[in-house]
Amino acid sequence: MTHSAPPTEDRTPAGGRGPDDDRSARPGLLMGRLFGVPVYVSPSWFLVAVLVTVMFEGQVDGVVSRPLSYLVAFTYAVLLYGSVFVHELSHAVTARAFGLPVRSVTLHILGGETSIEREAPTPGREFLIAFAGPLVNLVLAGLGLLVHAVVPMPDVALLLLEALTFANLLVGLFNLLPGLPLDGGRLVRAVVWKVTGRSRSGGVFAGWVGRGVAIACLVTGAYLATYSTGEGGGIGWLALLWSALVASFIWVGATQSIRAERVRDRIPQLSARRLARRATLVTADVPLAEAVRRAREDHAGAIVIADHDGRPLGLVSEKAVTATPEHRRPWVSAGDLSRGIDDGLKLAADLSGEELVEALRRAPASEYLLVEPDGGVYGVLAVADVDRAFAGI
């Protein structure tokens, strides 16, 4: 269970997404909105629900007979992910309380993730947002122990309560492990940030600790597989498989966090002018083949639709041009492959650094028109070029 914020997501801080961008796919099935935050369930969750149901049914069949035992086991699987959902929702609510926009909450095979638009502006707020999730699970575990001690209940309800109490305790403690991308890693990042005054130092340090946590998870799984007392060692090998899955998740997340901090160092060097492509202006009725020919003749990397007075009206999608076969281009007009230029897609050519990145975040797209102070067209900025600049290509 994690919460993420740029630039720690698996994309550069530019990360533009347009209607023709495959990356704009939803992370799962939209289940609804809570406090204005979309809640998604990944298809992988249903696989986990089946596995949890089958595994937990073995504990339930001694209390209730089949097929009712499967219904009770499935109820546990739903309640378990209900605890995960509350964990993620606590991240989202805390972030919004600090004025940070929350993009989504997603439940998936390894738990859940809360995607936050921006990182916290201070280490203290970063700490509180990260700690909110594990705290809720530990509180739920404490409430479970209290109810267990004072409230008499049927055997099946008692079994569910004990399992959920243990699960919340495990989730809370696991997420406090001190390495990114876990919540404990964000706590470490916040502490190092506070001590050093540099968020990057905290992110890199917590990322390396996260790699250590990943290795520890894998070693633990190998130990359980080797010394398992389960029937035929099945429980141990299942532990190894699960720990390998968790370890890979943590390792990848930690590596992305380290990379993201290094990427952030490149932000001040970003310049819209330096990354711009020369643009060729054509009217909407010009055949695509002719527009491409003119662009090549002008040594231009982009095509802009303009009226007869030279006023820009639209941007021709590079992806759409590439997808159009050569033999079709004489019969397709350039205007057919363009999108209109609204205010968010028209940027000042002098933008650079954080201002440029923020402008790209405000209006995600694949291409932007760059204009001079007098309104003249300077060129086109492609997000693919920004991504390459971040990657050091």
CA-nearest of 290, 299, 302 to 329 is 290
- pLDDT digit string, tens, across residues 153-169: 888 889 899 989 999 99
**Confidence tier at 269 by pLDDT (50, 70, 90):** confident
Q: How is residue 388 written in tokens?
A: 């390459």
**Is the pLDDT score of 204 beyond 80?**
yes
Across the range 23-29, mean pLDDT stands at 65
Contact by Cβ (8 Å): 235, 242 = no
Across the strands, what pairs with 280?
A: 303
In the 8-state DSSP scheme, what is residue 278? P
Give the predicted TM-score (pTM) of the model: 0.70
Quick one: pLDDT at residue 361?
Answer: 84
The whole-angstrom separation of Cα 224 and Cα 361 is 45
Q: How far is 317 from 311, CA to CA, in rounded Å?
A: 18
Task: Tell me the one-letter amino acid at 165.
Answer: T
| Residue 8 pLDDT > 60 | no
DSSP state at residue 151: -
Q: Are 260 and 203 in contact (CB under 8 A)?
A: yes
- From the list 380, 392, 364, 370, the residue with the least C-alpha distance to 6 is 364
Looking at residue 285, what is its pLDDT?
95
Look at the chain and count its residues: 393
pLDDT digits (tens, 9 = 90+) for 273-310: 999 999 999 999 999 999 999 999 999 999 999 999 88
Number of CB atoms found within 10 A of residue 140's CB? 21
Measured on CA atoms in the order 116, 120, 126, 132, is the torsion positive or negative? negative
Rounded Cα–Cα distance for residues 75 and 56 (Å): 10
Torsion of CA 252, 255, 260, 261, to 10 degrees: 150
Question: What single letter denotes the amino acid at residue 3?
Answer: H
pLDDT at 209: 95
HSE at residue 108, side-chain half, CA atoms within 13 A, is: 16
Going by C-alpha positions, the residue among 84, 63, 85 that lies closest to residue 73 is: 63
Structure tokens at 313: 């009206």
Bridge partners, 370 (sequence order): 347, 379
Q: Which residues fall within 8 angstroms of residue 315, CB to CB, at 6 or more apart? A: 302, 303, 304, 305, 338, 339, 341, 345, 367, 368, 369, 380
- Write out the catalytic residue numbers: 88
Range scoring the smallest mean pLDDT among 80-84, 189-193, 291-295:
80-84
What pLDDT is recorded for position 56?
Answer: 83
Per-residue pLDDT band for 259 (boundaries 50, 70, 90) equals confident
Which pLDDT value is given to residue 303?
96
Rg of the chain in Å (alpha carbons): 26
Tens-place pLDDT, residues 346-380: 999 999 988 898 899 888 899 999 999 988 999 99
Q: How far apart are CA 356 and CA 361, in angstroms?
A: 9
pLDDT in tens, 31-60: 889 888 899 999 888 888 888 888 888 888
23 exposure class (CB count in 10 Å sphere: 0-12, 13-18, 19+)? exposed
Is residue 183 part of an annotated ligand binding site?
yes
Question: Residue 129: which of 85, 192, 187, 169 has the closest Cα?
Answer: 187
